[in-house]
Amino acid sequence: MSVHHTPVARRSLLLSIAGWALAGPALAETAVKLPPPGDAAATGTAAVETAVFAGGCFWGVQAIFQHTKGVQQAVSGYTGGRKDNAFYEAVSEGTTGHAEAVQVSFDPRQVSYGRLLQIFFSVAHDPTQLNRQGPDTGTQYRSALFTTSAVQKATAERYIAQLDAAKLFPAKIVTAVVPLKAFYPAEDRHQDYATRHPDADYIVAYDQPKIDNFRAMLPELYRAAPALVRVGSSS
């Protein structure tokens, strides 16, 4: 069962029943201080590039990239499956082929794809977990990089090899690197979720710690004001 797929009220009840003393320490967010890729300098010439990251529940991944300098927009959505099943209730079943993902639009003159990879692997998720993150399980929560160019693919594969060779994680990185075919934005209620619901139990337990780790570990890339998709929507 995935805690993420219950409504907020139901999720709060489940966590209360389980007990924060057990749920908190057992599923605490961790971060790993990682070196940047060898080609991490921001040297792009285009005004905007896009990249797609999948690493568990899209609420937290979106929040991390919304707090990243040089990111213009980060949109929660689905990728890996068909257009007709790219909606939350279907993806939640774990049988559509989709992953919860975030499409990041960024200015490569301010932040490189390599630095986005550093953030993704350091603080956004645990890249050694196969088909799960925190309390969420299923292929829809897999770790994957959906690349939009040959350059992104090569950069991602080199960085994963660099990190594995350095043995900076207790296990081998399982993150898949695959070409992006299509990205489908998620429903409005899932956009800017961490900002709009900062007191939700799930956000407090699993996503705010990611943001705190980001601010502490990579302050040169962190910005306090998130780049929001939309403001003031209802859940």
Tokens of 21: 């003393």
Q: With bands split at pLDDT 50, 70 and 90, how would you rate the model's confidence at 38?
A: confident
Parse the chain into domains and list their residue ranges: 3-217
Say yes or no: domain 3-217 is CATH 3.30.1060.10: yes
Question: Which pLDDT score, from 0 to 100, does residue 102 have?
Answer: 98
Task: Tell me how far CA of residue 112 lies from CA of 35, 41, 67, 155, in angstroms.
Answer: 14, 6, 15, 11
For the chain, strand residue ranges (E) read 49-55, 71-79, 99-106, 132-133, 136-137, 143-147, 176-179, 184-185
What's the pLDDT at 73? 97
Which residues make Cβ contacts (< 8 Å) with residue 160, sequence separation at least 6? Answer: 173, 175, 177
Share of the chain above pLDDT 90, in %: 80
> Quick one: pLDDT at residue 2?
53
Confidence check: pLDDT of 67 > 80? yes
Question: pTM for the full model?
Answer: 0.88
Among all chains, which residue has been given the structure tokens 């990251």? 53
The CA distance from 52 to 31, in Å, is 21
Answer for the pair 129, 107: CB distance below 8 angstroms, yes or no. Answer: no
pLDDT at 19: 36
pLDDT at 210 (0 to 100): 97
Residues 6+ apart with CB under 8 A from 50: 103, 104, 105, 106, 148
Q: What is the mean pLDDT of the chain?
A: 88
CA–CA separation, 148 and 179 (whole Å): 6
- Out of 42-46, 180-184, 205-209, 219-223, least confident range: 42-46
pLDDT exceeding 70 applies to what percent of the chain?
A: 84
201 pLDDT higher than 50? yes
Q: Which of residues 66 and 8 earns the better pLDDT score?
A: 66
Given a cut of 70, whether residue 14 has pLDDT beyond it is no
End-to-end Cα, the chain, rounded Å: 22
**Segment among 19-33, 48-62, 187-201 with least mean pLDDT:** 19-33
Residues 89-139 have pLDDT tens digits of 999 999 999 999 999 999 999 999 999 999 999 999 999 999 999 999 999
Residues tagged active-site: 57
Instruction: Provide the 8-state DSSP code for 222.
Output: B
Among candidates 97, 92, 4, 102, which has minimal Cα distance to 55?
Answer: 102
Residue-level pLDDT at 45: 73
Q: What is the pLDDT of residue 9?
A: 36
Contact between 69 and 117 (Cβ < 8 Å): no
